[in-house]
Protein backbone atom coordinates (compact mmCIF):
# COMPACT_ATOMS: atom_id res chain seq x y z
CA UNK A 1 0.00 0.00 0.00
CA UNK A 2 1.38 3.40 -0.98
CA UNK A 3 1.28 6.27 1.49
CA UNK A 4 1.55 9.95 0.71
CA UNK A 5 4.61 11.49 2.31
CA UNK A 6 4.43 14.93 0.79
CA UNK A 7 6.25 16.60 -2.12
CA UNK A 8 9.66 15.26 -3.03
CA UNK A 9 10.16 16.40 -6.60
CA UNK A 10 12.55 19.33 -7.03
CA UNK A 11 11.26 21.78 -9.65
CA UNK A 12 13.33 21.35 -12.79
CA UNK A 13 12.35 24.54 -14.56
CA UNK A 14 12.37 28.24 -13.86
CA UNK A 15 9.35 29.51 -11.88
CA UNK A 16 6.11 30.22 -13.73
CA UNK A 17 5.62 33.93 -13.13
CA UNK A 18 2.09 35.13 -12.49
CA UNK A 19 0.42 38.52 -12.74
CA UNK A 20 -2.90 38.76 -10.88
CA UNK A 21 -5.67 41.17 -11.89
CA UNK A 22 -8.34 41.45 -9.23
CA UNK A 23 -7.92 41.20 -5.47
CA UNK A 24 -11.45 40.54 -4.34
CA UNK A 25 -12.62 37.31 -2.75
CA UNK A 26 -11.29 35.11 -5.56
CA UNK A 27 -8.01 36.95 -6.09
CA UNK A 28 -7.18 36.81 -2.41
CA UNK A 29 -8.01 33.09 -2.34
CA UNK A 30 -5.63 32.50 -5.26
CA UNK A 31 -2.79 34.18 -3.34
CA UNK A 32 -3.63 32.28 -0.16
CA UNK A 33 -3.65 28.90 -1.89
CA UNK A 34 -0.30 29.54 -3.57
CA UNK A 35 1.19 30.63 -0.27
CA UNK A 36 -0.19 27.63 1.60
CA UNK A 37 0.36 24.90 -0.98
CA UNK A 38 3.05 26.22 -3.32
CA UNK A 39 5.47 23.38 -2.47
CA UNK A 40 2.85 20.76 -3.35
CA UNK A 41 2.03 22.53 -6.61
CA UNK A 42 5.73 22.58 -7.53
CA UNK A 43 6.01 18.87 -6.79
CA UNK A 44 3.02 18.09 -8.97
CA UNK A 45 4.18 20.10 -11.97
CA UNK A 46 7.96 20.28 -11.65
CA UNK A 47 7.74 24.05 -11.69
CA UNK A 48 7.15 26.52 -8.88
CA UNK A 49 4.63 29.37 -9.04
CA UNK A 50 5.78 32.92 -8.38
CA UNK A 51 3.39 35.86 -8.16
CA UNK A 52 5.38 38.80 -9.49
CA UNK A 53 2.72 41.50 -9.87
CA UNK A 54 -0.82 42.41 -8.84
CA UNK A 55 -3.40 45.01 -9.78
CA UNK A 56 -6.89 45.99 -8.63
CA UNK A 57 -9.18 49.00 -8.57
CA UNK A 58 -8.20 50.06 -5.04
CA UNK A 59 -4.68 49.58 -3.74
CA UNK A 60 -5.49 50.58 -0.16
CA UNK A 61 -8.57 48.48 0.50
CA UNK A 62 -8.32 46.22 3.55
CA UNK A 63 -7.59 42.62 2.56
CA UNK A 64 -7.01 39.29 4.27
CA UNK A 65 -3.68 38.81 2.51
CA UNK A 66 -0.56 40.97 2.55
CA UNK A 67 -0.15 42.41 -0.95
CA UNK A 68 2.84 44.60 -0.03
CA UNK A 69 5.16 41.74 -0.98
CA UNK A 70 4.03 41.96 -4.63
CA UNK A 71 4.79 44.66 -7.19
CA UNK A 72 1.71 46.82 -7.68
CA UNK A 73 0.44 48.12 -11.04
CA UNK A 74 -2.14 50.86 -11.33
CA UNK A 75 -2.33 50.11 -15.05
CA UNK A 76 -3.59 46.58 -15.63
CA UNK A 77 -2.45 46.61 -19.27
CA UNK A 78 1.09 47.42 -18.16
CA UNK A 79 1.01 44.41 -15.85
CA UNK A 80 -0.25 42.26 -18.71
CA UNK A 81 2.76 43.18 -20.83
CA UNK A 82 5.40 43.09 -18.07
CA UNK A 83 8.52 41.09 -18.99
CA UNK A 84 8.48 39.11 -15.74
CA UNK A 85 4.90 37.87 -16.17
CA UNK A 86 4.28 34.59 -18.03
CA UNK A 87 0.62 34.09 -17.13
CA UNK A 88 -2.01 36.76 -16.51
CA UNK A 89 -4.78 35.68 -14.14
CA UNK A 90 -7.91 37.82 -14.49
CA UNK A 91 -10.54 37.65 -11.74
CA UNK A 92 -11.55 41.32 -11.79
CA UNK A 93 -14.71 40.91 -13.89
CA UNK A 94 -16.27 43.30 -16.37
CA UNK A 95 -16.18 43.06 -20.14
CA UNK A 96 -14.76 46.09 -21.98
CA UNK A 97 -11.80 46.79 -19.70
CA UNK A 98 -11.08 43.07 -19.32
CA UNK A 99 -11.10 42.64 -23.09
CA UNK A 100 -8.53 45.41 -23.54
CA UNK A 101 -6.23 43.82 -20.97
CA UNK A 102 -6.70 40.31 -22.40
CA UNK A 103 -5.87 41.67 -25.85
CA UNK A 104 -2.70 43.28 -24.52
CA UNK A 105 -1.62 40.11 -22.68
CA UNK A 106 -2.24 37.72 -25.56
CA UNK A 107 -0.61 40.07 -28.08
CA UNK A 108 2.47 39.99 -25.86
CA UNK A 109 2.43 36.18 -25.88
CA UNK A 110 1.22 35.83 -22.30
CA UNK A 111 -1.07 33.01 -21.29
CA UNK A 112 -4.48 34.14 -20.02
CA UNK A 113 -6.40 32.41 -17.23
CA UNK A 114 -9.79 33.86 -16.40
CA UNK A 115 -12.98 33.37 -14.43
CA UNK A 116 -14.74 35.89 -16.68
CA UNK A 117 -17.61 34.05 -18.40
CA UNK A 118 -19.16 37.26 -19.77
CA UNK A 119 -15.92 38.23 -21.52
CA UNK A 120 -15.55 34.82 -23.16
CA UNK A 121 -19.21 34.45 -24.08
CA UNK A 122 -19.22 37.83 -25.81
CA UNK A 123 -15.64 38.10 -27.17
CA UNK A 124 -14.19 34.62 -26.91
CA UNK A 125 -13.62 34.03 -30.60
CA UNK A 126 -11.54 37.19 -31.09
CA UNK A 127 -9.39 36.27 -28.10
CA UNK A 128 -9.00 32.70 -29.34
CA UNK A 129 -7.71 33.92 -32.68
CA UNK A 130 -5.25 36.21 -30.90
CA UNK A 131 -4.09 33.38 -28.67
CA UNK A 132 -3.42 31.09 -31.63
CA UNK A 133 -1.60 33.84 -33.47
CA UNK A 134 0.73 34.41 -30.52
CA UNK A 135 1.10 30.77 -29.38
CA UNK A 136 -0.62 31.53 -26.09
CA UNK A 137 -3.14 29.61 -24.03
CA UNK A 138 -6.49 30.56 -22.55
CA UNK A 139 -7.70 28.73 -19.45
CA UNK A 140 -11.31 29.24 -18.37
CA UNK A 141 -12.20 26.38 -16.04
CA UNK A 142 -13.20 28.94 -13.40
CA UNK A 143 -15.68 30.61 -15.75
CA UNK A 144 -18.23 27.80 -15.38
CA UNK A 145 -19.46 26.32 -12.10
CA UNK A 146 -16.60 27.29 -9.81
CA UNK A 147 -14.78 24.26 -8.44
CA UNK A 148 -16.65 21.73 -10.60
CA UNK A 149 -14.27 20.54 -13.39
CA UNK A 150 -16.87 20.93 -16.12
CA UNK A 151 -14.60 22.30 -18.84
CA UNK A 152 -11.94 19.62 -18.39
CA UNK A 153 -14.59 16.91 -18.27
CA UNK A 154 -16.19 17.99 -21.55
CA UNK A 155 -12.99 18.98 -23.34
CA UNK A 156 -10.68 16.21 -22.15
CA UNK A 157 -12.43 13.46 -20.23
CA UNK A 158 -15.18 13.16 -22.87
CA UNK A 159 -13.00 13.98 -25.87
CA UNK A 160 -13.77 10.61 -27.49
CA UNK A 161 -17.52 11.28 -27.27
CA UNK A 162 -20.03 13.17 -29.30
CA UNK A 163 -21.74 15.00 -26.44
CA UNK A 164 -25.25 15.80 -27.63
CA UNK A 165 -26.91 17.04 -24.44
CA UNK A 166 -25.76 19.17 -21.51
CA UNK A 167 -28.16 20.49 -18.87
CA UNK A 168 -27.00 22.49 -15.91
CA UNK A 169 -27.95 24.38 -12.80
CA UNK A 170 -25.40 27.09 -13.48
CA UNK A 171 -26.51 29.80 -11.07
CA UNK A 172 -26.49 29.20 -7.32
CA UNK A 173 -28.43 32.38 -6.52
CA UNK A 174 -31.43 31.29 -8.59
CA UNK A 175 -31.24 27.74 -7.30
CA UNK A 176 -31.26 29.02 -3.72
CA UNK A 177 -34.28 31.24 -4.43
CA UNK A 178 -36.21 28.36 -6.01
CA UNK A 179 -35.29 26.13 -3.06
CA UNK A 180 -36.69 28.71 -0.65
CA UNK A 181 -39.81 29.19 -2.78
CA UNK A 182 -40.36 25.41 -2.64
CA UNK A 183 -40.27 25.80 1.15
CA UNK A 184 -43.07 28.35 1.04
CA UNK A 185 -41.34 31.71 0.59
CA UNK A 186 -42.44 34.22 -2.01
CA UNK A 187 -39.95 35.40 -4.63
CA UNK A 188 -39.18 38.78 -3.03
CA UNK A 189 -38.66 37.22 0.41
CA UNK A 190 -36.43 34.52 -1.04
CA UNK A 191 -34.35 37.10 -2.91
CA UNK A 192 -33.98 39.20 0.26
CA UNK A 193 -32.92 36.08 2.15
CA UNK A 194 -30.32 35.23 -0.51
CA UNK A 195 -28.98 38.79 -0.38
CA UNK A 196 -28.75 38.78 3.42
CA UNK A 197 -26.76 35.54 3.35
CA UNK A 198 -24.37 36.80 0.68
CA UNK A 199 -25.68 34.48 -2.05
CA UNK A 200 -26.94 37.35 -4.19
CA UNK A 201 -25.17 40.50 -5.34
CA UNK A 202 -26.36 43.95 -4.30
CA UNK A 203 -27.58 44.21 -7.90
CA UNK A 204 -28.77 40.67 -8.69
CA UNK A 205 -30.03 41.48 -12.20
CA UNK A 206 -27.53 39.28 -14.06
CA UNK A 207 -28.35 36.33 -11.82
CA UNK A 208 -32.15 36.47 -11.61
CA UNK A 209 -32.40 37.68 -15.21
CA UNK A 210 -30.72 34.47 -16.40
CA UNK A 211 -27.77 36.25 -18.04
CA UNK A 212 -25.10 34.74 -15.79
CA UNK A 213 -26.39 31.24 -16.53
CA UNK A 214 -26.60 32.09 -20.23
CA UNK A 215 -22.94 33.12 -20.38
CA UNK A 216 -21.96 29.74 -18.94
CA UNK A 217 -24.39 27.88 -21.18
CA UNK A 218 -22.93 29.55 -24.26
CA UNK A 219 -19.43 28.40 -23.25
CA UNK A 220 -20.69 24.85 -22.76
CA UNK A 221 -22.40 24.96 -26.16
CA UNK A 222 -19.17 26.06 -27.83
CA UNK A 223 -17.33 23.13 -26.28
CA UNK A 224 -19.81 20.40 -27.18
CA UNK A 225 -20.78 21.71 -30.63
CA UNK A 226 -17.15 22.12 -31.79
CA UNK A 227 -18.04 25.60 -33.02
CA UNK A 228 -18.53 29.18 -31.98
CA UNK A 229 -21.76 30.44 -30.46
CA UNK A 230 -23.23 33.87 -31.10
CA UNK A 231 -24.31 34.92 -27.63
CA UNK A 232 -27.04 37.16 -29.01
CA UNK A 233 -28.73 34.04 -30.44
CA UNK A 234 -29.01 32.35 -27.03
CA UNK A 235 -32.59 32.26 -25.68
CA UNK A 236 -32.54 33.66 -22.13
CA UNK A 237 -35.32 33.81 -19.54
CA UNK A 238 -34.76 34.51 -15.88
CA UNK A 239 -36.83 33.71 -12.81
CA UNK A 240 -38.50 37.06 -12.11
CA UNK A 241 -41.68 36.12 -13.98
CA UNK A 242 -42.35 32.93 -12.01
CA UNK A 243 -45.48 33.53 -9.88
CA UNK A 244 -45.49 32.84 -6.15
CA UNK A 245 -47.26 29.60 -5.37
CA UNK A 246 -46.24 27.79 -8.55
CA UNK A 247 -43.64 25.73 -6.68
CA UNK A 248 -46.28 24.34 -4.34
CA UNK A 249 -48.61 23.47 -7.21
CA UNK A 250 -45.84 21.70 -9.10
CA UNK A 251 -44.75 19.82 -5.98
CA UNK A 252 -48.25 18.35 -5.67
CA UNK A 253 -47.69 16.61 -8.98
CA UNK A 254 -44.07 15.57 -8.43
CA UNK A 255 -42.14 18.45 -10.02
CA UNK A 256 -39.46 20.88 -8.82
CA UNK A 257 -38.60 24.29 -10.34
CA UNK A 258 -35.04 24.81 -11.56
CA UNK A 259 -33.37 27.44 -13.73
CA UNK A 260 -31.75 25.28 -16.40
CA UNK A 261 -29.11 26.09 -18.97
CA UNK A 262 -29.28 23.68 -21.89
CA UNK A 263 -27.17 22.75 -24.90
CA UNK A 264 -28.92 20.05 -26.88
CA UNK A 265 -28.34 18.77 -30.40
CA UNK A 266 -31.54 18.89 -32.48
CA UNK A 267 -32.14 17.81 -36.06
CA UNK A 268 -31.54 21.32 -37.43
CA UNK A 269 -29.07 22.87 -34.99
CA UNK A 270 -28.34 23.33 -31.30
CA UNK A 271 -30.73 24.36 -28.56
CA UNK A 272 -28.85 26.88 -26.42
CA UNK A 273 -31.52 27.91 -23.95
CA UNK A 274 -31.85 29.20 -20.39
CA UNK A 275 -35.25 29.17 -18.70
CA UNK A 276 -37.11 28.07 -15.55
CA UNK A 277 -38.29 24.49 -15.94
CA UNK A 278 -40.34 21.95 -14.03
CA UNK A 279 -38.19 18.87 -13.42
CA UNK A 280 -39.56 15.54 -12.12
CA UNK A 281 -38.55 14.90 -8.51
CA UNK A 282 -36.97 11.64 -9.68
CA UNK A 283 -34.50 13.48 -11.93
CA UNK A 284 -30.96 13.91 -10.49
CA UNK A 285 -31.03 17.67 -11.08
CA UNK A 286 -34.21 17.96 -8.98
CA UNK A 287 -32.20 16.97 -5.91
CA UNK A 288 -29.71 19.84 -6.24
CA UNK A 289 -30.73 22.40 -3.63
CA UNK A 290 -29.41 25.69 -2.27
CA UNK A 291 -26.39 27.32 -3.89
CA UNK A 292 -24.98 24.09 -5.29
CA UNK A 293 -24.38 23.83 -9.06
CA UNK A 294 -24.67 20.69 -11.17
CA UNK A 295 -24.16 19.66 -14.78
CA UNK A 296 -25.70 16.58 -16.40
CA UNK A 297 -24.44 15.37 -19.77
CA UNK A 298 -24.94 12.63 -22.34
CA UNK A 299 -22.22 11.27 -24.63
CA UNK A 300 -22.64 8.66 -27.34
CA UNK A 301 -20.08 6.37 -25.67
CA UNK A 302 -20.06 7.54 -22.05
CA UNK A 303 -23.87 7.67 -21.82
CA UNK A 304 -25.31 9.77 -18.95
CA UNK A 305 -23.26 11.40 -16.19
CA UNK A 306 -23.50 14.28 -13.74
CA UNK A 307 -21.12 16.55 -11.86
CA UNK A 308 -22.08 18.67 -8.85
CA UNK A 309 -20.40 20.91 -6.31
CA UNK A 310 -19.69 24.47 -5.28
CA UNK A 311 -20.33 26.80 -8.18
CA UNK A 312 -19.05 29.99 -6.57
CA UNK A 313 -17.06 31.33 -3.65
CA UNK A 314 -13.48 32.44 -3.22
CA UNK A 315 -11.72 29.15 -2.55
CA UNK A 316 -13.89 27.14 -4.96
CA UNK A 317 -13.27 29.52 -7.87
CA UNK A 318 -9.58 29.88 -7.00
CA UNK A 319 -9.32 26.09 -7.14
CA UNK A 320 -10.47 26.17 -10.76
CA UNK A 321 -8.22 29.12 -11.62
CA UNK A 322 -5.16 27.33 -10.29
CA UNK A 323 -6.05 24.08 -12.04
CA UNK A 324 -5.47 25.91 -15.34
CA UNK A 325 -2.31 27.54 -14.04
CA UNK A 326 -0.92 24.16 -12.97
CA UNK A 327 -1.71 22.72 -16.40
CA UNK A 328 0.36 25.49 -17.94
CA UNK A 329 3.15 24.94 -15.41
CA UNK A 330 3.26 21.24 -16.24
CA UNK A 331 3.07 21.85 -19.99
CA UNK A 332 -0.11 19.86 -20.43
CA UNK A 333 -3.78 20.02 -21.02
CA UNK A 334 -4.76 23.58 -21.86
CA UNK A 335 -5.30 23.67 -25.60
CA UNK A 336 -4.12 26.85 -27.29
CA UNK A 337 -7.11 29.14 -27.25
CA UNK A 338 -9.04 26.86 -24.93
CA UNK A 339 -12.32 27.08 -26.86
CA UNK A 340 -13.11 25.48 -30.23
CA UNK A 341 -12.02 27.45 -33.25
CA UNK A 342 -14.54 26.06 -35.71
CA UNK A 343 -17.42 27.41 -37.75
CA UNK A 344 -20.39 29.16 -36.21
CA UNK A 345 -22.84 26.88 -34.48
CA UNK A 346 -26.43 27.01 -35.68
CA UNK A 347 -28.53 28.05 -32.67
CA UNK A 348 -32.20 27.11 -32.73
CA UNK A 349 -34.68 29.61 -31.20
CA UNK A 350 -36.69 28.39 -28.22
CA UNK A 351 -39.87 28.87 -30.25
CA UNK A 352 -38.88 25.65 -32.04
CA UNK A 353 -38.69 23.65 -28.81
CA UNK A 354 -40.82 20.49 -28.91
CA UNK A 355 -41.60 19.05 -25.53
CA UNK A 356 -43.89 19.04 -22.52
CA UNK A 357 -45.53 22.00 -20.77
CA UNK A 358 -47.39 22.53 -17.51
CA UNK A 359 -50.32 24.92 -18.09
CA UNK A 360 -52.59 26.23 -15.33
CA UNK A 361 -56.24 25.90 -16.31
CA UNK A 362 -57.85 28.30 -13.84
CA UNK A 363 -58.11 31.00 -16.51
CA UNK A 364 -58.81 28.68 -19.40
CA UNK A 365 -61.45 26.09 -18.67
CA UNK A 366 -62.88 23.68 -21.20
CA UNK A 367 -62.20 25.85 -24.23
CA UNK A 368 -58.50 26.02 -23.43
CA UNK A 369 -58.40 22.24 -22.97
CA UNK A 370 -60.01 21.76 -26.36
CA UNK A 371 -57.60 24.07 -28.12
CA UNK A 372 -54.55 22.45 -26.55
CA UNK A 373 -55.85 18.98 -27.36
CA UNK A 374 -55.85 19.95 -31.03
CA UNK A 375 -52.13 20.81 -31.10
CA UNK A 376 -50.67 18.32 -28.60
CA UNK A 377 -49.80 14.65 -28.75
CA UNK A 378 -51.64 14.28 -25.46
CA UNK A 379 -52.95 16.01 -22.35
CA UNK A 380 -52.89 14.87 -18.75
CA UNK A 381 -55.43 16.51 -16.45
CA UNK A 382 -53.77 17.42 -13.15
CA UNK A 383 -56.83 19.11 -11.70
CA UNK A 384 -55.42 22.62 -11.41
CA UNK A 385 -53.30 22.27 -14.53
CA UNK A 386 -52.77 20.38 -17.76
CA UNK A 387 -49.58 18.54 -18.70
CA UNK A 388 -49.25 19.14 -22.41
CA UNK A 389 -46.94 16.68 -24.15
CA UNK A 390 -44.96 16.89 -27.37
CA UNK A 391 -46.00 20.25 -28.64
CA UNK A 392 -44.00 22.88 -30.52
CA UNK A 393 -43.63 26.00 -28.40
CA UNK A 394 -44.59 28.40 -31.15
CA UNK A 395 -47.84 26.45 -31.62
CA UNK A 396 -48.51 26.49 -27.87
CA UNK A 397 -47.99 30.24 -27.69
CA UNK A 398 -50.34 30.78 -30.65
CA UNK A 399 -52.99 28.64 -28.96
CA UNK A 400 -52.68 30.46 -25.65
CA UNK A 401 -52.74 33.86 -27.36
CA UNK A 402 -55.87 32.87 -29.29
CA UNK A 403 -57.55 32.15 -25.95
CA UNK A 404 -56.27 35.45 -24.52
CA UNK A 405 -54.78 33.26 -21.81
CA UNK A 406 -53.34 35.13 -18.83
CA UNK A 407 -52.33 32.24 -16.60
CA UNK A 408 -48.99 30.59 -15.84
CA UNK A 409 -47.27 27.98 -17.98
CA UNK A 410 -43.91 26.30 -17.41
CA UNK A 411 -41.70 24.15 -19.63
CA UNK A 412 -41.21 20.61 -18.37
CA UNK A 413 -37.87 18.80 -18.73
CA UNK A 414 -36.76 15.28 -18.03
CA UNK A 415 -39.97 13.44 -18.86
Q: Which of 117, 152, 216, 258 is catalytic?
A: 216
Cα 240 from Cα 210, distance rounded (Å): 9
Closest CA to 320 of 92, 141, 116: 141
**Please, are residues 321 and 30 in contact by the beta-carbon 8 Å criterion?**
yes
Is 13 noted as a catalytic residue in this protein? Answer: no
Contacts 24+ apart (CB under 8 A), 37-44: 39/7, 40/6, 40/7, 41/322, 41/326, 41/329, 42/7, 42/9, 42/11, 43/6, 43/7, 43/8, 43/9, 44/7, 44/9, 44/326, 44/330
Nearest residue to 325 via CA among 140, 67, 196, 56: 140
H or E segment at 153? none
DSSP assigned state of 344 = B
d(CA 101, CA 364): 55
Q: Which residues are annotated as catalytic? A: 216
Amino acid sequence: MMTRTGPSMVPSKSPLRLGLLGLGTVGQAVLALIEQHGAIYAARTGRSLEVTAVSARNRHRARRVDISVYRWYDDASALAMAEDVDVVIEVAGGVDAAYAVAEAALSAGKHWVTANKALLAEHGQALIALAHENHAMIGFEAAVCGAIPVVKTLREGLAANLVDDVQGIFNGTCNYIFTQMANGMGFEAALADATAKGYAEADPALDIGGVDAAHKTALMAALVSDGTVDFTAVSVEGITGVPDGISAQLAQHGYVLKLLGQCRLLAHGWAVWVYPAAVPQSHPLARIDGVVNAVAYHGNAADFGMLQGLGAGGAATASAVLSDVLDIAAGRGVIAGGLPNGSETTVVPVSERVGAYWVAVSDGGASLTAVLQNISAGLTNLGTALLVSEVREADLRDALNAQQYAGAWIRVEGV
